[in-house]
Amino acid sequence: MAKRGAGSSGRVGWTAFFCGPAALLYTVFVVVPLVTALWYSIFSWRGTTQGPLSGLDNYATVLTAYPYQDQLLRAFGHNGVFFVGTMLVQNTVGLALALLLHRAPLGRRLFQTLYSLPYLISPLVVGYLWSMLLSPSFGPVNAVLEAVGLDALARPWLGDPGTALPVVVLVNAWQWVGGPMLIFGAALAAVPAELEESARIDGASAWKTFWTVRFPLILPTVGVVTLLTFIGTFNVFDLVFALGGSSGGPGQAMDVLGLLFYRLAFQGGVNAIGLSSALAMLMFVFVFGISLLVDRMLRRREVNP
C-alpha cells in the first residue's frame, strides 16, 4: 500500500510538473483578464479612476442606450454575416481542396504547405496587403479588370458599402482556408477504404459515395470546424481593422463587435473602461455559451449517432 501511494503521488507530481507551466500561462493570460474585466464592468469609471459600484448599469447602457444599442445590433449582424459567409466560402473550399488532395496524393504535401502559408502572416499584414491590392488608385486588381475589358467591374472595393463586407469575408477565407483543408484532410484519411470500395462495387458514383459514405463519417469534423469558425468570426478584429479602420469602413459597413469594443475602450468617454469591459463580458458569455451548447450537441451525437 505504501509503494502504491508513493507511485500515485509520483504520478501527481509529474503531472503537475508538465501541466503546471501551461496552467500558469492560461491563468495569467486568460483567467486573470477575464476576472479583471468582470470586476471592471460592475463599477463606474472617471478615466482611469474607479468610481462607485454600479452593478449592471454598464451592461444596461451598452444594450439599451443610444448610440451603443444601434452600434451593437449592427456589429452583431455583421459578425453573423461574416460567420455565414466564412462557412460558405472558406470551409466549402477547404473541403473541396481536401477531397482533391486526398484523391491525388502526388504533390499533396507541397499543396498543403502552399495553402497553409498565409497562416504564417499576421492578419494585420494581410489586411494592409489586400488594402493596397484593392486600391482604386494603384491596386492591381482594378488594373487587371480594366486590362481585360471588364472596366464595369472595377470599383473601390473597400470604399463601397455594398462590397466592403463580402471583400473582408473573401480575404479572411484566403488566409485561413488551409486550416479546414488540413482538418478535413485528416478526417478523410481516417475513412476506411473498404467502405468506399464497397460503395463503388455497388455502382455508386463518386458524388454519391461522398455523400453516403464519406460525409456521414466526417460529420463530427464538420461540427468541430463550424465551432472553430464561429469562435474565430465572432472574435475577429485585426483583419477588419486593417481593411476598414476603427470606424468599420464606409458607413460602418464592416463594423464588428471587436471594432465596437476598440472604440468603446479608446473613444468611449470618461466611463470607457466600464462600458468596454461590459461589452467584453457580453461577447464572452455569448461566444462561450453557444460554443458550450454546440460542443454538448456534438458529443451527444457521437455517443448516440
- Per residue in 45-62, pLDDT (tens digit) is 998 899 999 999 999 999
Is 8 within a domain? no
Query: How many domains in the chain?
Result: 1
CA 260 – CA 266 distance, rounded (Å): 10
What range does the domain containing 124 cover? 46-303
pLDDT at 134: 92
CA 139 – CA 131 distance, rounded (Å): 8
Is 40 within a domain? no
Is 233 within a domain? yes
- Quickly tell me which residue has 493596397 as its cell: 132
Q: Grid coordinates representing 90?
A: 472558406
CA 156 – CA 71 distance, rounded (Å): 24
Whether residue 44 contacts residue 57, with contact meaning beta carbons closer than 8 Å, is answered with yes
Q: For residue 80, what are the contacts with CB-CB under 8 A and spacing of at least 6?
A: none
pTM over 0.85: yes
Q: Please state, rounded to an integer, the average pLDDT across all residues of the chain.
A: 88
Which residue type sits at 28?
V
CA 95 – CA 275 distance, rounded (Å): 40
Is 12 within a domain? no
Sort 165 into a burial class: Cβ within 10 Å, 0-12 / 13-18 / 19+.
buried
Give pLDDT tens digits along the chain (305 positions). 445 555 566 677 777 778 888 889 989 998 999 999 999 999 999 988 999 999 999 999 999 998 999 999 999 999 999 999 999 999 999 999 998 888 777 778 888 888 888 888 899 999 999 999 999 888 899 999 888 988 888 889 999 999 999 999 999 999 999 999 999 988 988 888 888 788 888 777 778 888 888 888 888 899 999 999 999 999 999 999 999 999 888 889 999 999 999 999 998 889 999 999 999 999 999 999 999 998 888 888 766 65
Is 211 within a domain? yes
CA 83 – CA 234 distance, rounded (Å): 7
pLDDT at 295: 86
CATH number of domain containing 171? 1.10.3720.10
Is 292 within a domain? yes
Is 32 within a domain? no
pLDDT at 2: 47
Collect contacts of 262-267 with beta carbons under 8 A, ≥24 apart.
262/237, 264/62, 264/68
Is 102 within a domain? yes
